[in-house]
């Protein structure tokens, strides 16, 4: 009589190393059936965006390869997740389903109902952590409330026990006697074909656990030491670019935490960079705990007075922003980097978000929706918390009245204009003084660089000083 297998349901935990649910399945000694379910309904309005779907396809392929090296494979099923898992359990006589818990508002009731449904079938359903260093229920302030301010949250996290050590991937996974049927990945249409807009993303990224490992090693070897200085410079490779890997769980935060700590102990000159980096990792935890305790975070202002903000309907402005045609080079470079590569540097994310909200007075939810569709690292917690942070409506947010001047930001963080030149090629020949604000350049300088404003490159869609005044006036309404 063959042993009843354990189903491991993979969702945003697409790795084999440091995977508590998979480790528990291995420890059970039973055959394992790894499965991913393509369910376009489960996320509701938070179903994966186009760039994330592209990423997912690569990541599932990579996970399957890694499983095959260990004598296993990834089963693909589609449709309603609960029905698919129940049907699979019946088909292969599995008596247990293990998975990694999620934190999005839609997944929590789902996980509870899945447990109930599987329970009715006599199937054990166990959920495990692994996506976060600290579970959101665990870190509370002295009054037992969730934190709303980052610094005390951060300090409390640091004062807790060191996050557990990560575990290596199993070298072998027991297969069932007979593999159940699987969908073909290509049939899901996750990747674009006509047109195929993913060329820039293929050049930039290698989704999957091996890609994450390579990024992490590269970060520790070449970036970490200078991270606290380079992290704000979009023209240099000064950050880890691990965000999509973290968003899809191809690396765990525990793996990163311990690798970075070990690297900094081995080479103490890297300590400052390591501390600054781990602080960012805790910002991720902070976003997750905000989302966990405030389910409306992706849709409504955390500070309710901001729900009365007088946003404008500005379709033209929104389209210029999305396409990188605002006439502000640093904003356009960021929006084009996003479109071409599925990722944007954090400093520039702040600049473009501020521009949309405070220069164009467009609702932050519009920006968040565009990011959701175009980012390979789209992550409901980080995306919602960060947009609200820039808007001033979030927890511990930047004050609304602090309005970025995009030209000064550009001069400060892309002083030579290298980032702009990479993504806005029509401005390549402008020198590093004029490139930040071409509308202020002398006609002869523009002519020499082959720039015709309003023709080869747009005039600014708004005047900074007027936009600033309008934003402050709108903010007065919120204050009242």
Question: Known catalytic residues?
Answer: 280, 283, 311, 346, 364, 387
When asked if residue 382 is in the footprint of ligand FAD (CB under 6 A), the reply is yes
Ramachandran region, residue 313 (left: φ > 0; alpha: ψ -120 to 50; beta: rest): beta
Give the whole-angstrom CA distance, residue 257 versus residue 253. 6
When asked if residue 242 is in the footprint of ligand FAD (CB under 6 A), the reply is yes
Say if residues 373 and 362 touch (Cβ distance below 8 Å): no
Give the whole-angstrom CA distance, residue 168 versus residue 330. 42
Using CB under 6 A, which residues numbered 199 to 238 contact ligand FAD? 231
CA 391-44-357 angle, to 5 degrees, is 15
Cis previous bond, 447, omega within 30: no
Nearer to ligand FAD, 125 or 212 (CB): 212
Scanning 122-130, 136-144, 198-206, 376-384 for contacts with ligand FAD by CB under 6 A, the matching segment is: 376-384
Query: Residue 310 CA to chain centroid, in angstroms?
Result: 29
When asked if residue 125 is in the footprint of ligand FAD (CB under 6 A), the reply is no
When asked if residue 393 is in the footprint of ligand FAD (CB under 6 A), the reply is no
Helix (H, G, I), strand (E, B) or coil at 153: helix
When asked if residue 356 is in the footprint of ligand FAD (CB under 6 A), the reply is no
Inter-CA distances, 239 with 10, 243, 281, Å: 28, 10, 12
Scanning 163-171, 386-394, 405-413, 471-479 for contacts with ligand FAD by CB under 6 A, the matching segment is: 386-394
Binding test (CB under 6 A) with ligand FAD, winner from 280, 373, 396, 411: 280
When asked if residue 246 is in the footprint of ligand FAD (CB under 6 A), the reply is yes
Nearer to ligand FAD, 287 or 434 (CB): 287
| Per-residue binding letters, 247-276, with ligand FAD (x by CB under 6 A) | x-----------------------------
CA 395-399-403 angle, to 5 degrees, is 135
Scanning 17-25, 111-119, 281-289, 308-316 for contacts with ligand FAD by CB under 6 A, the matching segment is: 281-289
Binding test (CB under 6 A) with ligand FAD, winner from 350, 446, 461, 467: 350
CA 239-374-108 angle, to 5 degrees, is 90
Least distance (Å) from ligand FAD to the CB of residue 219? 7
Binding test (CB under 6 A) with ligand FAD, winner from 77, 148, 294, 349: 349
The closest of 146, 144, 141, 134 to 297, measured between CA atoms, is 146
When asked if residue 379 is in the footprint of ligand FAD (CB under 6 A), the reply is yes
Long-range contacts, stretch 181-190, CB < 8 angstroms, 24+ apart: 182/73, 182/74, 182/75, 182/76, 182/77, 183/38, 183/76, 183/77, 183/78, 184/76, 185/57, 185/60, 185/61, 185/76, 188/38, 188/57, 188/76, 188/78, 190/38, 190/53, 190/54, 190/56, 190/57
Using CB under 6 A, which residues numbered 14 to 33 contact ligand FAD? none
For residue 289 the two structure tokens come to 């705990």
The terminus-to-terminus CA distance of the chain in angstroms comes to 73
For residue 315 the two structure tokens come to 């379709």
Q: Which residues contact 180 (CB under 8 A, 6 or more apart)?
A: 33, 75, 88, 91, 92
Nearer to ligand FAD, 337 or 434 (CB): 337
Query: By CB under 6 A, how many residues form the interface with ligand FAD?
Result: 27
Nearer to ligand FAD, 72 or 374 (CB): 374
Q: Which residues contact 420 (CB under 8 A, 6 or more apart)?
A: 329, 330, 332, 333, 410, 414, 427, 435, 436
Binding test (CB under 6 A) with ligand FAD, winner from 8, 25, 185, 390: 390
Binding test (CB under 6 A) with ligand FAD, winner from 241, 336, 421, 436: 241
Give the whole-angstrom CA distance, residue 107 versus residue 422. 40
When asked if residue 378 is in the footprint of ligand FAD (CB under 6 A), the reply is yes
Using CB under 6 A, which residues numbered 308 to 347 contact ligand FAD? 346
Binding test (CB under 6 A) with ligand FAD, winner from 252, 337, 386, 388: 386
Least distance (Å) from ligand FAD to the CB of residue 324? 16
Give the whole-angstrom CA distance, residue 197 versus residue 407. 30
Nearer to ligand FAD, 72 or 243 (CB): 243
Least distance (Å) from ligand FAD to the CB of residue 425? 23
When asked if residue 451 is in the footprint of ligand FAD (CB under 6 A), the reply is no
Binding site for ligand FAD (CB under 6 A): 231, 239-243, 246-247, 280-281, 283-284, 287, 346, 349-350, 353, 371, 375, 377-379, 382-383, 386-387, 390
């Amino acid at each position: 009589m063959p042993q009843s297998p354990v189903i491991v349901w993979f969702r945003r935990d697409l790795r084999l190393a440091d995977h508590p649910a998979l480790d528990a399945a291995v420890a059970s000694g039973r055959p394992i059936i790894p499965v991913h379910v393509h369910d376009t309904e489960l996320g509701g309005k938070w179903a994966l965006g186009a760039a994330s779907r592209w990423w997912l396809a690569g990541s599932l392929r990579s996970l399957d390869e890694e499983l095959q090296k260990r004598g296993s494979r990834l089963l693909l099923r589609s449709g309603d997740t609960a029905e698919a898992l129940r049907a699979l359990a019946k088909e292969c006589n599995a008596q247990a389903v293990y998975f990694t818990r999620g934190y999005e508002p839609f997944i929590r009731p789902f996980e509870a109902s899945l447990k109930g449904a599987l329970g009715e079938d006599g199937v054990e359903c166990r959920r495990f952590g692994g996506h976060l260093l600290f579970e959101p229920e665990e870190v509370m302030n002295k009054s037992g409330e969730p934190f709303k301010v980052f610094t005390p949250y951060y300090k409390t996290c640091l004062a807790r026990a060191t996050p557990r050590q990560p575990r290596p991937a199993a070298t072998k996974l027991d297969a069932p006697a007979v593999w159940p049927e699987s969908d073909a990945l290509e049939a899901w249409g996750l990747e674009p074909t006509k047109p195929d807009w993913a060329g820039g993303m293929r050049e930039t990224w290698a989704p999957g656990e091996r890609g994450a490992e390579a990024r992490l090693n590269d970060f520790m070897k070449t970036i970490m030491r200078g991270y606290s200085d380079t992290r704000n410079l979009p023209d240099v490779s000064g950050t880890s670019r691990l965000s999509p890997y973290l968003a899809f769980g191809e690396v765990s935060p525990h793996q990163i935490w311990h690798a970075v700590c070990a690297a900094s102990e081995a080479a103490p000159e890297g300590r400052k960079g390591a501390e600054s980096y781990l602080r960012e990792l805790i910002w991720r935890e902070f976003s997750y705990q905000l989302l966990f305790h405030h389910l409306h975070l992706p849709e409504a202002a955390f500070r309710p007075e901001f729900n009365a903000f007088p946003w404008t309907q500005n379709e033209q402005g929104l389209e210029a922003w999305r396409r990188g045609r605002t006439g502000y080079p640093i904003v356009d470079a960021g929006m084009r980097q996003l479109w071409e590569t599925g990722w944007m540097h954090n400093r520039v994310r702040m600049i473009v978000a501020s521009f949309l909200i405070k220069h164009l007075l467009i609702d932050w939810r519009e920006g968040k929706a565009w990011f959701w569709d175009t980012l390979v690292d789209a992550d409901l917690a980080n995306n919602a918390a960060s947009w609200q942070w820039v808007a001033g409506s979030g927890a511990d947010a930047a004050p609304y009245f602090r309005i970025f001047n995009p030209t000064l930001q550009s001069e400060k963080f892309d002083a030579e204009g290298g980032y702009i030149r990479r993504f806005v090629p029509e401005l390549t020949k402008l020198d590093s003084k004029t490139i930040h604000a071409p509308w202020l350049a002398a006609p002869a300088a523009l002519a020499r660089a082959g720039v015709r404003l309003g023709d080869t490159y747009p005039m600014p869609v708004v005047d900074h000083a007027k936009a600033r005044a309008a934003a402050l006036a709108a903010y007065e309404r919120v204050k009242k």
